[in-house]
């Protein structure tokens, strides 16, 4: 990990850069695959599944038999853990329900807002080196609570042409309606356009590598919404001498093992803590099964010393971390003053892993600095706000003249006339 001491503010943008390619580097590849999927559907899916996943598929649809077989392969211990996490996620997301907002804005003018579910949603679940069945809980549970009618899930198959059993078990448990063996750019394109097998959806959710992230962004050009630009995982830990260096190191490594393009950052007002964490990272790293992946991510990571709390807080807001752990004595200051973060974890006994799995909050969060303008996935992510209004005879008389004057001032005579006709009918009645 690279140590940086008291960086000048003019250097912050440079030292806080993510180790990711730009959209321009990947966009050409994404556009080419999108064009092929749109033209050739399932045939293109099979072509790229063979190329990228190393397997020839006869059928990309996951059958009921495969789901039953997968369920039998998942241990009862894991099923119980998944159920506990599902319960907590349901509790937290059900609490986010809001009631209808209704108000009479003027005498006889009734306006209200209601939330309605997005009918068709697509869930992308990464497979590969880390099959993220936990992401299904984070997406399918709130989608079901919201009342989405169709939940389409895509996940890449392994070399045997199968999806990880825990993914299939969890998807079935959480009410996913259709599951497909498709990954990467081609899966995003399939949900954006629809193919012979995969239905077109209205909004696509889920994390992925840089290619998936750009594919989701390109999908928005084709009339499909996305949750957010969620790319390689990242974590920033703020720690002073009140923190436990071993805990801090374990949190940094928990994100580093996600992928070689993950980034972890430690910010501290203590040089002793920085040194202690660096030693703990090296020590714990040796015991990790995913050591090779974590090592490459650690190479992209930073240990940053700053002199005081206010500078630390400004630096963190400039970075806008996906995950932000606060382990300091003056925690209230940092919790009160954080402006840009996907999800915040407070105290020595709140590991980021808790939010990844079972505390109840959602782990699908904005990365790459997008926490400055995007929220993480929540119940409202699966809903749309619709407004309604009903105007009585009294109401149109109340606001009609103002509408006429404003429409005329904008040169929109037909707008004015729509009101004038109604007012005349009431006056002549």
Query: 389: which 2 tokens?
Result: 């209004």
- Decide which of 229, 262, 292 is a domain's last residue: 229
What is the pLDDT at residue 316? 98
CA distance 50 to 71: 26
What is the pLDDT at residue 231? 74
What is the pLDDT at residue 261? 83
Whether residue 382 is contained in a domain is answered as no
284 and 261 co-located in one domain: yes
Residues of the chain with pLDDT under 70: 20-23, 128-129, 429
What is the pLDDT at residue 213? 87
What is the pLDDT at residue 417? 98
Whether residue 381 is contained in a domain is answered as no
Question: What phi, psi does 102 have (nearest 5°)?
Answer: -130, 135
Pairing of strands 109-117, 120-124: unpaired
pLDDT digits 0-9 by tens, 346-399: 999 999 999 999 999 999 999 989 999 999 999 999 999 999 999 999 999 999
Question: pTM for the complete prediction?
Answer: 0.93
Query: 352: which 2 tokens?
Result: 């980021």
Query: 386: which 2 tokens?
Result: 């619709």
What is the pLDDT at residue 91? 98
Question: Which residues participate in catalysis according to the annotation?
Answer: 322-323
304 closest CA partner among 110, 92, 14, 70 = 14
What is the pLDDT at residue 19? 78
CATH code where residue 408 lies: 1.20.5.1300
Whether residue 380 is contained in a domain is answered as no
Where is the binding site for NAD(+), in residues?
Answer: 124, 186, 209
Whether residue 352 is contained in a domain is answered as yes
125 and 171 co-located in one domain: yes
Where is the binding site, in residues?
Answer: 124, 186, 209, 233, 255, 258, 323, 356, 410, 415
SS3 55: coil
Q: Is 107 exposed, middle or buried (0-12, 13-18, 19+ CB in 10 A)?
A: exposed
What is the pLDDT at residue 26? 87
**CB within 8 A of 352, min separation 6: which ones?**
235, 251, 254, 255, 323, 325, 345
171 and 49 co-located in one domain: yes
- Decide which of 179, 203, 229 is a domain's last residue: 229
What is the pLDDT at residue 272? 98
pLDDT mean across residues, the chain = 95
103 and 54 co-located in one domain: yes
Pairing of strands 109-117, 383-391: antiparallel
27 and 9 co-located in one domain: no
Whether residue 312 is contained in a domain is answered as yes
209 and 306 co-located in one domain: no
Whether residue 366 is contained in a domain is answered as no
CATH code where residue 120 lies: 3.40.50.1980
Q: Is 424 exposed, middle or buried (0-12, 13-18, 19+ CB in 10 A)?
A: exposed
Query: 422: which 2 tokens?
Result: 């109604």
What is the pLDDT at residue 131? 85
What Cα–Cα distance (Å) separates residue 110 from each residue in 113, 240, 375, 424? Answer: 11, 54, 31, 22
What is the pLDDT at residue 232? 80
186 and 85 co-located in one domain: yes
What is the pLDDT at residue 258? 86
197 and 50 co-located in one domain: yes
Q: Looking at the 3D structure of the chain, how many domains does it have?
A: 3
Whether residue 191 is contained in a domain is answered as yes
311 and 334 co-located in one domain: yes
211 and 116 co-located in one domain: yes
With beta carbons less than 8 A apart as the criterion, state whether 163 and 62 touch: yes
8 and 132 co-located in one domain: no
Is the Cα dihedral 417, 419, 420, 421 positive or negative? positive
- Decide which of 208, 229, 250 is a domain's last residue: 229
Whether residue 384 is contained in a domain is answered as no
211 and 109 co-located in one domain: yes
Boundaries of domain holding 310: 2-20+232-360
């Amino acid at each position: 990990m690279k140590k940086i001491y008291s960086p000048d503010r003019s250097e912050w943008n440079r030292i806080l850069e993510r180790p990711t390619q730009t959209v321009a580097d990947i966009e050409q590849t994404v556009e080419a695959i999108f064009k092929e999927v749109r033209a050739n559907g399932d045939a293109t899916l099979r072509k790229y599944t063979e190329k990228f996943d190393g397997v020839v598929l006869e059928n990309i649809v996951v059958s009921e038999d495969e789901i039953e077989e997968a369920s039998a392969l998942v241990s009862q211990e894991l099923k119980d853990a998944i159920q506990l996490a599902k319960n907590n996620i349901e509790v937290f997301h059900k609490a986010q329900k809001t009631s209808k907002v209704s108000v009479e804005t003027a005498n006889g003018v009734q306006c209200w807002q209601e939330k309605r579910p997005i009918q068709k949603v697509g869930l992308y679940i990464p497979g590969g080196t880390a099959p993220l069945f936990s992401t299904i809980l984070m997406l399918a549970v709130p989608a079901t609570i919201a009342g989405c009618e169709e939940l389409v899930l895509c996940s890449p198959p392994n070399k045997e042409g199968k999806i990880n059993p825990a993914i299939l078990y969890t998807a079935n448990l959480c009410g996913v309606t259709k599951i497909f063996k498709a990954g990467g750019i081609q899966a995003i394109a399939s949900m954006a356009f629809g193919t012979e097998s995969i239905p077109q959806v209205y909004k696509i959710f889920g994390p992925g590598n840089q290619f998936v992230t750009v594919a989701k962004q390109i999908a928005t050009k084709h009339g499909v919404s996305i949750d957010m630009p969620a790319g390689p995982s990242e974590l920033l830990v703020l720690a002073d001498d009140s923190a436990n260096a071993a805990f801090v190191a374990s949190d940094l490594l928990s994100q580093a093992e996600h992928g070689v393009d993950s980034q972890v950052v430690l910010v501290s007002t203590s040089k002793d803590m920085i040194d202690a964490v660096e030693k703990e990272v090296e020590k714990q790293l040796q015991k990790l099964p995913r050591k090779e992946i974590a090592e490459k991510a650690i190479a992209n990571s930073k240990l940053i010393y700053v002199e005081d709390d206010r500078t630390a807080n400004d630096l963190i807001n400039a970075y806008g971390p996906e995950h932000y752990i606060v382990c300091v004595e003056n925690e209230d200051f940092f919790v009160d003053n954080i402006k840009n973060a996907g999800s915040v974890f407070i105290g020595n006994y709140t590991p980021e892993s808790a939010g990844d799995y079972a505390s109840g909050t959602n782990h699908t969060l904005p990365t790459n600095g997008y926490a400055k303008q995007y929220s993480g996935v929540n119940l409202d992510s699966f809903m749309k706000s619709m407004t309604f209004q009903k105007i009585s005879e009294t109401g149109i008389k109340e606001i009609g003249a103002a509408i006429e004057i404003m429409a005329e001032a904008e040169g929109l005579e037909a707008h004015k006339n729509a009101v004038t006709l109604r007012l005349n009918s009431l006056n002549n009645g």
